[in-house]
Amino acid sequence: MPSEQLAPTRPGSPMGQSIPRREDARLLTGHGHYTADVNRPGQLYAVMVRSPHAHAHIRSIRTDAARAVAGVAAIYTGTDVAGRIAPIPTAWIPPGSDLAITDHPALADTTVRYVGDGVAMVVAESLDSAREARALIDVDYEPLGAVTSVADAMREGAPRVHEGVSQNVALHWRAGSDPSAVDHAMKTAEVVVRQAIVQQRLVPNPMEPRAAVAEFDAAAEALTLWVTSQNPHIHRLLVAGVLGLAEHRVRVIAQDVGGGFGSKIACYPDEVLVAFAARDLGRPVKWVEERREHFVATTHGRDHVDEVELAGRRDGTFTALRVRTRANLGAYLSTAGPGVPTILFGLITNGPYDIPLAATEVYGLYTHTTPVDAYRGAGRPEATFLIERLVDLFAREIGMDPVAVRSKNLVTEDRFPYTNAFGITYDSGRYHASLDRALEHLDLGAFRSEQAAAARHGRLLGLGVSTYVEMCGLGPSEVAGAVGFQGGLWEHALVRVLPTGKVMVMTGISPHGQGEETTFAQVVADRLGCALDDIEVMHGDTQLVSMGWGTYGSRSTAVGGGALSVALDRVVDKARKIAAHVLEADVEDLAFREGRFAVHGVPDRSVAFTDVALKAHLAWSLPEGVEPGLEAEASYNPSNFTYPFGTHMAVVEVDPDTGDINVQRYLAVDDCGPRINPLIVEGQVRGGIVQGIGQALWEGGAYDAQGQLLTGSLMDYALPKARWLPPIETDFTETPAPHNPLGVKGVGETGTIAATPTIVNAVMDALAPMGIHHLDMPLTPERVWRAIQDARTTAPAATGGMRS
């Protein structure tokens, strides 16, 4: 059914066409309207005073000199807002995790817990005045010992981040098979490979940093908040709650948002403080984050230490998997923070492989670092990295090619829907077809010959493979509740046809670079037979859009598109009734094609959809029981997640002299179901891959022992550059999701998920002849060079996977 529905319903339909993004002309010519572009009459400017210490007591804060600066309207400290702003909540409480929920004050009261923790807010007539005053605020800190890594957080005597949280354990969560069964399988297996793996901290860097502008109408007791948000309705709920405002009098607007990658999901203290000040001072207040501020004040991603074991037989069959993870949550529980290293990670650590016994155990730990939350992929990149590294280690241990080992263990097509050891059900998949497609592009035998020939000249070539599956399209609301997400994950759409036949769509998703203003218009144009120009897709304003849960987890087209599709069905149904009335025919006798309703077999008895729209609004003559107007809304609650999958391959060369890694080829075969707009899909895939390679080779957020972020600017933190990468080759298979109306699976995160292990596996393949089997990321030249130096002086058998 889904594939049937996605097939264009008329010749010339935009469905499946690579239409350039309609939003680009606006965004690329400087006509986007971002939060920083919002200016309200009489507005004040806010800047934040942030802690320079990772952990300290605040002895005193002297603000008198700052208050004397001309133009300063107010200075707020933690004491000033205590009791007036409720603690910033987390929205994810994984069941059975004993989540140690601690207060996250909007401004620190007596203790700061990370470099960047808010200490005070200055509000002034100009940004210059605010900054001048900020420089004069004198905070007397008593520095305390800090803990920044999960390796240290649980140690005896480690500094505590929060009173009463023993060993800094924020949560302890388990999932999967009976641990004793897994243990038994490990002990009795023919082969077990084990590896300790660090998945380093990443700093999300969307082009647009965060910003907020708040305006409070005292007479109406109504707040309008412009904020860089991926989910304005969630922001409305949380900001209203924290400030004690009535939800119906809070309007949140996130018009154009310049990227998020997960970092704009969370409700931060900053937007709450800005809204608070606007109400308190009776004037609009604006705050725009600086890039250096962004590095410490916006949530980070990843930061795991994992111990993983994969058991199996010498013929290559996997029998059991055990994952033990310590995940860094930072100093406070961010909005989705606790869910990322548990639910979004631990339920899919087996990847696309059929592993009968699998268990995940996670400690989520508090540290004196910037809070960690979702970052493109959120949990699933971490899961994929572990299993993909393990598969390669296993293959090496038994002397089988990693591609053959994958092929042997991939879930076969006849097993779908497939329920894994953690109890989640993969909707559909053709994993072997994907692997085969990739091998059509890259001749494995030819590469191995080339690799061997190169080795004879001292050159190190490597091939990396990753076969991945992702759980996304978040998600069934019943499941959201069962896994402790404090919200729904359904989606809403409204389709309004105006008297002229023009169409307005209001969607609850909140695209910020994903292109749904284009893809949703394609769906509408296909279904109603109108031109793209006749359609406007609106989002990002809680006053305009009834409800929605936002854009993240590759959910927008799978779930938001589902709601849109159902709403379109309802519009067509109503229009059909009116058309039947006009044509004096039975509803069942009408065909709707190319924007016209026609009586079967009598083509000249037809009426255009636009005429029906006009008649619906005029209401001069409507059929019995049909209300005037032509619009419909739908709330769509998916019955399952979606499970896109694919195969990525990379060829790299490592320079043994310097440790430099040169990515020579990158090939991606992805399956996100049918592609509404292949051009946009391509963009998502490529961008995701580059971000994933960024983690493998260049990016890493590092703290020193005192909790100072050593990579706190773009001069230190290396984002990928286009010239470092080869052209990315892409191909697609199309396996519809059987349970959503468009059959689409989502493609926003797949590239990031697949690319990181693909690259690392390729480098490890290149280094394998030297006895190097695992290195932690980022694979900087020095790290690789050192490993080569060490390998040359150490027996090869001493490194890498071990047999039990």
Partner 1 sequence: MTLGTFRYERPSSLDEAIRQAVEAPGARWLAGGMSLLPLMKMELAAPPALVDLAGVEDLVGVRERDDVLWVGAMTRHAELALHPLVARHASLLAAAASQVGDPQVRNRGTIGGSLAHADPAADLPAAVLALDATIQVASPRGRRGIPAGGFFLGPLMTALEPDEVIVAVTVPQRGARRQAYRKRPHPASGYAVVGIAASLRWEGDRVASAAVAVTGVADHAFRAQRTEALLTGEVLTDALLVEASGVVTDGQEVWGDLYASAEYRRHLAGVTTRQVLEHLRADG
- Asked if 441 is part of the footprint of partner 1 (rule: CB under 8 A), the reply reads no
Among 142, 719, 803, 804, binds partner 1 (CB under 8 A): 719
Residue 185 CB neighbour total at 10 angstroms: 23
Nearer to partner 1, 119 or 566 (CB): 119
Six-digit token string for 206: 């969307």
Task: Judge contact between 756 and 385, C-beta under 8 A.
Answer: yes
CB 233 within 8 A of CB 272: no
Q: How far is the CB of 203 from partner 1 (least distance, A)?
A: 11
- 290 touches partner 1 (CB under 8 A): yes
Contacts for 191 with CB less than 8 Å, ≥ 6 apart: 311, 312, 313, 314, 394, 397, 398, 803
Helices (H), 546-639: 561-583, 609-618
Considering only 27, 86, 101, 127, the residue that binds partner 1 (CB under 8 A) is 127
In the complex with partner 1, the residue whose CB is nearer, 504 or 702, is 702
Handedness of CA 150, 155, 161, 164 (dihedral sign): positive
Phi, psi (degrees; rounded to nearest 5) at 288? -125, 125
Q: Which of 711, 731, 738, 796 binds partner 1 (CB under 8 A)?
A: 711
Pick between residue 162 and residue 292 the one whose CB is nearest to partner 1: 292
Residue 776 within binding range of partner 1, rule CB under 8 A? no
Q: Which stretch binds partner 1 (CB under 8 A): 298-306, 542-550, 707-715, 743-751?
A: 707-715
Question: Residue 248 is which amino acid?
Answer: H
Only one of the segments 235-243, 284-292, 412-420, 472-480 lies at the binding site for partner 1 (rule: CB under 8 A); that segment is 284-292
Question: Computed from CA positions of residues 309, 313, 315, 319, in that sequence, does the dihedral angle turn out positive or negative?
Answer: negative
In angstroms, rounded to a whole number, what is the distance separating the alpha carbons of residues 283 and 41?
9
Does residue 248 bind partner 1 (CB under 8 A)?
no
**Whose Cβ is closer to partner 1: residue 130's or residue 439's?**
130
In terms of CB distance, is 59 or 721 closer to partner 1?
Answer: 721
With respect to partner 1, which residue has the nearer C-beta, 207 or 220? 207
Question: Should residue 657 be labelled a site residue for partner 1 when binding is judged by CB under 8 A?
Answer: yes
Q: What is the distance between the alpha carbons of residues 249 and 223, in angstroms, rounded to a whole number?
A: 6
Query: What is the smallest separation between the CB atom of 87 and partner 1, expressed in angstroms?
Result: 31
C-beta closer to partner 1: residue 50 or 576: 50
Rounded to a whole number of angstroms, the minimum distance from the CB of residue 135 to partner 1 is 8
Pick the binder of partner 1 from 114, 332, 641, 717 (CB under 8 A): 717
Q: Which of 761, 802, 801 is nearest to 467 (CA)?
A: 761
Q: Which is nearer to partner 1, 135 or 618 (CB)?
A: 135
Among 26, 40, 131, 459, binds partner 1 (CB under 8 A): 131
Judged by CB under 8 A, which of 398, 780, 794, 796 binds partner 1?
Answer: 780
**Does residue 782 bind partner 1 (CB under 8 A)?**
yes
Please identify, using beta-carbon distances, which residue of 93 and 718 lies nearer to partner 1.
718
Distance of CA 467 to the CA centre of its chain: 20
Residue 70 is a binding residue for partner 1 (CB under 8 A):
no
Interface with partner 1 by CB under 8 A: which range of 182-190, 260-268, 287-295, 576-584?
287-295
Name residue 591's beta-bridge partners: 598
Strands 250-253 and 418-419, sheet pairing: unpaired
Residue whose C-alpha is closest to residue 63's, from 52, 44, 53, 78: 78
Closest approach of partner 1 to the CB of residue 786, in Å? 8
Decide if residue 315 touches partner 1 (CB under 8 A): no
The residue among 292 and 432 lying less far from partner 1, judged by its C-beta, is 292
Helices (H), 318-409: 343-346, 380-398, 402-409
Of 213-221, 267-275, 450-458, 779-787, which part binds partner 1 (CB under 8 A)?
779-787
Q: Report the candidate in 498, 741, 518 with the shortest Cα–Cα distance to residue 634.
A: 741
Tokens in use for 730? 């892409």
CB of 524 to partner 1, least distance (A): 41
Decide if residue 7 touches partner 1 (CB under 8 A): no
CA distance 480 to 492: 16
Beta carbon nearer to partner 1, 288 or 362: 288
Nearer CB in complex with partner 1: 449/789: 789
Of 133-152, which residues contact partner 1 (CB under 8 A)? Answer: 135
Stretch 670-699 residues interacting with partner 1 (CB under 8 A): 698
Q: How many CA atoms lie within 13 A of 304 on its CB side?
A: 28
Instruction: Output the smallest distance, CB 713 to partner 1, in A.
Output: 8
CA pair distance 557, 607, nearest whole angstrom: 31
Question: Quick one: which of 31, 62, 155, 291 contacts partner 1 (CB under 8 A)?
Answer: 291
When asked if residue 478 is in the footprint of partner 1 (CB under 8 A), the reply is no
> Are 444 and 353 within 8 A, CB to CB?
no
Residue 103 touching partner 1 (CB under 8 A)? no
Q: How far apart are the first and last CA of the chain?
A: 49
Does 792 engage in binding with partner 1 (CB under 8 A)?
no
Q: Which residues of 233-266 are buried (b: 16+ CB within 10 A; e: fewer)?
A: bbbbbbbbbbbebeeeebbbbbbbbbbbbbbbbb
Q: Distance between CA atoms of 80 and 106, rounded to whole angstroms?
A: 11
* Closer by beta carbon to partner 1, 48 or else 572: 48
Considering the rule CB under 8 A, would residue 443 count as an interface residue with partner 1? no
Q: DSSP characters for 516-558?
A: HHHHHHHHHHHHH---GGGEEEE-SBTTTSS----S-TT-III
Count the site residues for partner 1 by CB under 8 A: 27
Among 52, 441, 785, 794, binds partner 1 (CB under 8 A): 785
- Nearest distance from residue 289's CB to partner 1, in Å? 10
Does 706 interact with partner 1 (rule: CB under 8 A)? no
Cβ 33 to partner 1, closest distance in Å? 22
Segment interacting with partner 1, rule: CB under 8 A, options 181-189, 288-296, 448-456, 536-544:
288-296
**For residue 344, how far is the Cα from the chain centroid?**
10
Q: Which residue stretch of 310-318, 600-608, 613-621, 774-782 sits at the interface with partner 1 (rule: CB under 8 A)?
A: 774-782
**263 DSSP β-pair partners:** none
Give the C-alpha separation, 653 to 195, whole Å.
24
Residue 725, interface with partner 1 (CB under 8 A)?
no
Structural contact between residues 203 and 300, judged by C-beta atoms closer than 8 angstroms: yes
**Beta strand pairing call for 418-419 and 425-426:** antiparallel
Q: Which stretch binds partner 1 (CB under 8 A): 617-625, 626-634, 709-717, 790-798?
A: 709-717
CB of 87 closer than 8 Å to CB of 104: yes
| 544: amino acid identity, one letter | L
The token pair that represents 123 in the structure block:
């509000």
The Cβ of residue 12 has, within 10 Å, a number of other Cβ atoms equal to: 10
Give the Å distances, CA to CA, from 226 to 33, 210, 239, 271, 657: 11, 11, 12, 9, 52
Q: Does 221 bind partner 1 (CB under 8 A)?
A: no
Q: Give the residue, chosen from 538, 714, 768, 791, that forms a contact with partner 1 under the rule CB under 8 A.
A: 714
> Which DSSP string corresponds to 10-25?
STT--TT--PPPTTHH
Of 129-137, 189-197, 310-318, 479-487, which part binds partner 1 (CB under 8 A)? 129-137
Stretch that binds partner 1, among 178-186, 285-293, 506-514, 533-541 (CB under 8 A): 285-293
Does 721 interact with partner 1 (rule: CB under 8 A)? Answer: yes
Is 718 among the residues that bind partner 1 (CB under 8 A)?
yes
Shortest reach from residue 225's CB to partner 1, in Å:
24
* Residue ranges in contact with partner 1 by CB under 8 A: 127-128, 131-132, 135, 290-292, 657-658, 698, 702, 710-711, 714-719, 721, 724, 780-782, 785-786
